Structure 1
């Protein structure tokens, strides 16, 4: 997962995906054998030499300037997330493969999650590791506390748990977006050894993941809508907000809500009632810490 090879692959994919017509090149020769743009066409549109752009794609030049990154983002019509990903890949290569320190969720955040009895919520960390969740969040998705520590990961659940495919009515879109989210993380942390392990496992076990990972889709989680079907209560349409925690930029709080008075609102309340019947015994935390699930056991607070 070296940074320079990722940069070259990303540029080649962007070039292949952009048609001459979309790039504003009016005259297209008959019998064109190249998918998308030619290297010389990208170079012309970006205002760089063909040799320079070729060296970028081949990994012989690994740190283009900010001006070149901006020009390429404009040529390829990248959105904000893909533009940020390109800038990450263009940074000087880092050569560290050390393990990252374990992530911990602050006690106050556990208390906040536990107080959210009407809204599902969870906190994701690096690589979409599930660090904490409230009771309704576990009832809606899956009980992460019952999974082995190394398996407490959102993207792993989405691709490898059959229940996730049944839960999301738009599973392909949900799965493709979470791959884009992981790719955005990979651009910022190319030497994370646990990321390499996760990508390797998913690539072997999931043809869909492998195909999407080889693409260039990048997705930044901010807000959106998810359509789900829960086996106990039926369909639920949820809005979610993704809030990066101040002081913990690698941790994101996901909060799910429904429209008051809607069937989804009623079904979520029913799910909450069912979850309350199986609530943990007194003394067990209702917001369960799952910090750095790949290396550490839960440490209830």
Structure 2
């Protein structure tokens, strides 16, 4: 990915979402040809020259100071993830920022940990949102991950190119937007990662929804939240999702799902846990109309 183009498009997209009224400026100059703040208005807010900001937005800025970046981020009202993204895009690609070439693996101790989580679906995400480790409850909830070909064992691929994801995630549009925002953040950290470039290229060619979300340049960090899923056996589940950084394993996150104690979703997870121990006792999904 061309880092200068990414920086230019990101800054333009952030300008476009703000109006003069949003930042306390009085509109002037007649009808606007494009939405959002003009470059001169943003430069005024950030306390830099229009020429300097223009060069930066065109990807021609070099050695931008942290102070200038902070001023621009403040003027654009960027959140923490967006500030980090701006910083990554503004820095030259050095050896320390190149994506590691070694295969991604889950440490044995981490795998033992998630295997011991008998009633909690858990999996490990690596670079590019690759799913690199999981427990049996994750398979019970999300499908047999071991049976998925390795190139497709990726959250973005699953969301946009596996038709079953639209049935599994009740709020699919929200999930899809979150996944693209996470992938954007990853691209800012490792713009020269060939695996990431190939993934984005495949998704862009095969998914119109992905192309639209990717063009928005939204970024988001992994965090927590409530997910609603529709399981083919136990029906709808409302689960809390937690993303836990694994400090000793660069680029890896432990993702867990759990239900509120005593809730119907907790009972459904308990049933799924018992069926993973005795698959023969698991009821089969009801046939769909027309099948």
Shared fold per TM-score greater than 0.5: yes
Contact 1:224 1:240 in 2 (8 A): yes
- Aligned counterpart, 1:287: none
Give 5+ residue unaligned stretches, structure 1: 280-301
Partners of 1:91 and 1:12 lie apart in 2 by: 18
Contact 1:4 1:62 in 2 (8 A): no
- Aligned counterpart, 1:293: none
Partners of 1:107 and 1:27 lie apart in 2 by: 59
Displacement of 1:19: 1.3
Could you tell which deviates more after superposition, 127-136 or 142-151? 142-151
- Aligned counterpart, 1:192: 193
Displacement of 1:33: 2.1
- Aligned counterpart, 2:220: 219
Displacement of 1:237: 0.7
Q: Residue 40 in 1 paired to residue 36 in 2?
A: no
- Aligned counterpart, 1:158: 159
Say if 1:237 and 1:194 are closer, same or farther in 2 by CA, change over 3 A: same
1:30-49 CA distances to partner (integer Å, 9 max, x unpaired)? 42222101111111111111
- Aligned counterpart, 1:77: 77
- Aligned counterpart, 1:241: 242
- Aligned counterpart, 1:10: 10
Provide the aligned C-alpha RMSD in A: 1.7
Displacement of 1:157: 0.3
Displacement of 1:109: 1.1
Displacement of 1:25: 1.1
Give 5+ residue unaligned stretches, structure 2: 281-291
Counterparts in 2 of 1:145-184, with a 5 A limit? 145-184=146-185
Partners of 1:137 and 1:201 lie apart in 2 by: 26
Could you tell which deviates more after superposition, 96-105 or 248-257? 96-105
How does the TM-score come out when normalised to structure 2?
0.92
1:130-160 CA distances to partner (integer Å, 9 max, x unpaired)? 1110001011112111111111111110111
Partners of 2:231 and 2:154 lie apart in 1 by: 20
- Aligned counterpart, 2:55: 55
Partners of 2:5 and 2:110 lie apart in 1 by: 39
Contact 1:20 1:28 in 2 (8 A): no
Displacement of 1:273: 2.1
How does the TM-score come out when normalised to structure 1?
0.89
Partners of 2:108 and 2:262 lie apart in 1 by: 33
Secondary structure of 1:216's aligned partner: coil
